[in-house]
Amino acid sequence: MPFLCLPLVFKIQTSAGGPLLWFFHLSLTLPLSHCCRILFLSLLFSLLLFFFRERRTNSFEKFGGMAGDCGKWVVMVTAQTPMNMSVIKYWGKRDETLILPVNDSISITLDPDHLCTTTTVAVSPTFDRDRMWLNGKEISLSGGRYQNCLREIRSRATDVEDDENGIKIAEKDWEKLHLHIASYNNFPTAAGLASSAAGFACLVFALAKLMNLKEDRSKLSTIARQGSGSACRSLHGGFVKWIMGKDEDGKDSLAVQLADEEHWDDLVIIIAVVSSRQKETSSSTGMRETVETSLLLKHRAKEVVPKRIPQMEEAIKNRDFASFAQLTCAESNQFHAVCLDTSPPIFYMNDTSRRIISIVENWNRYEGTPQVAYTFDAGPNAVLFARNRKTAILLLQRLLFYFPPDSFFGLNSYIVGDKSILKDAGIEGIKDVEGLPPPPEMKDSIPSQKYMGDVSYFICTRPGRGPVLLSDKTQALLNPQTGLPK
């Protein structure tokens, strides 16, 4: 019998019961006196009692699991969630904790192929606390925003049956189970592209799947909102409105889809990641200071935005690029205006941002009708919307004319995302960039000044889909056995 135990012992040696079985095995096989054997067995039962109590506090016993593998399982879900770029801006909260905004906002979801967050969430009775890793580095979950999201999701969790692995988790057990979360952005953090929107949306979406929440995406957006306001808009693809809501508890402050990404698929988006040496004000701090000190913000929130929201909805509905561009640019500028009206003033745009605005404004004026719209968030990066692919090609040529790549690094890492626009623009190498003629609208500035080094790189993308689950298990960021980052 002792020999029969061995394979079993090896199989489950990592579980809590492993050492106890070894002990039992030894007590039977070692050539000991009866007295010793009794002493040995007493010790064994004391230890068993101890482990039994330990398992009670860890709630291990409450869960069904595979026979012979009790409490060792890890259940995981991996999701991918897009970034979004607002065209009617969110700036200013009326409630700092619930993250309730002072006005509605509208955004476009960006193609997750180029800009997204991937998050794997895992639950296991072996986890002794909630833990999170962001881009491979463990971060604290003690902040109020994470805690609010986790609390809201746990309170909505339902029974989960994992038929494949034969695991059942009852609704009431979620309060006691711990989570591991690993999150990864497919774009450099140094880009200064706000990643918290996609991040919190992905966290909430993935956890909602893991914990079998019954809420739809708009309801989930009220949870994501409590992590980062603009995250609520990343729960949908295409064109999204965050309705500010009226309820004090924030239940009606949620994101709805205005149109999916197919609705206006002519649009091409080019993001100029602008080099910056300035330390920027975080958007949370910035908007709090604006609410406290700007005398223009209230007027914007009460009088200006409520008029622009239906105009923007109409422009999107009709794919009316001229109206869309006019509103988008005016919104971006007004957002930065209220930042400047803050005490002390907040500057997110720099001289390069202004040069890009000037290039776009000159071109639009020259053409007589808007070709490109620009918007800037809480940083110097420009997000440019071209009315169609043909315009995007002309835009990219202009951008490369004024902001040529460093010949040492070349084009490949300078234009990322959808590189096919570059090819269509007839640009295959540095030589082609050097051969670009000055745009016709710049007739009054000869020779045209160039600004090599002022832009780090460009991302070519388009409107994209909302969050999705990744069923391919190789894409999970956590090890399915240990629940730790791969």
Q: Which is nearer to a second copy, 73 or 335 (CB)?
A: 335
DSSP string, 42-78: HHHHHHHHHHHHHHHHTTGGGS---TT-TT---EEEE
What are the φ/ψ torsions at residue 454 (nearest 5 degrees)? -80, -20
Residue 334 binds a second copy (CB under 8 A) = yes
Stretch of 241-249, 293-301, 388-396, 398-406 contacting a second copy, by CB under 8 A: 293-301
Residue type, 439: P
Q: Which is nearer to a second copy, 329 or 430 (CB)?
A: 329
The vertex-90 CA angle with 325 and 119, nearest 5°, equals 100
**Least distance CB 330 / a second copy (angstroms):** 6
**Least distance CB 312 / a second copy (angstroms):** 14
Stretch of 194-202, 225-233, 324-332, 435-443 contacting a second copy, by CB under 8 A: 324-332
**Least distance CB 293 / a second copy (angstroms):** 8
Token representation of residue 73 = 């399982």
Pairing state of beta strands 100-101 and 105-109? unpaired
CB 254 within 8 A of CB 98: no
Which residue from 218, 326, 479, 482 is in contact with a second copy, where contact means CB under 8 A? Answer: 326
Listed residue (175, 305, 238, 181) closest to 466, CA to CA? 238
Q: Which residues contact 121 (CB under 8 A, 6 or more apart)?
A: 76, 77, 78, 79, 179, 180, 181, 203, 206, 207, 210
Which residue from 87, 177, 315, 329 is in contact with a second copy, where contact means CB under 8 A? Answer: 329
Q: Which is nearer to a second copy, 32 or 304 (CB)?
A: 304
**Least distance CB 297 / a second copy (angstroms):** 10
**Least distance CB 341 / a second copy (angstroms):** 4
Q: Which is nearer to a second copy, 58 or 328 (CB)?
A: 328
* Residue 227 DSSP symbol: T
- CB atoms < 10 A from the CB of 362, how many? 16
CB 372 within 8 A of CB 383: no
Residue 340 binds a second copy (CB under 8 A) = yes
List binders of a second copy among 253-292 (CB under 8 A): 277-278
Which residue from 53, 246, 299, 473 is in contact with a second copy, where contact means CB under 8 A? Answer: 299
List binders of a second copy among 343-382 (CB under 8 A): 343-345, 347, 350-351, 354, 357, 361, 365
Residue 61 binds a second copy (CB under 8 A) = no
Distance in angstroms (rounded) separating the CA atoms of residues 329 and 418: 24
User: For binding to a second copy (CB under 8 A), which residues are involved?
Assistant: 277-278, 293, 295-296, 299-300, 303-304, 326, 329-330, 333-334, 336-338, 340-345, 347, 350-351, 354, 357, 361, 365, 449
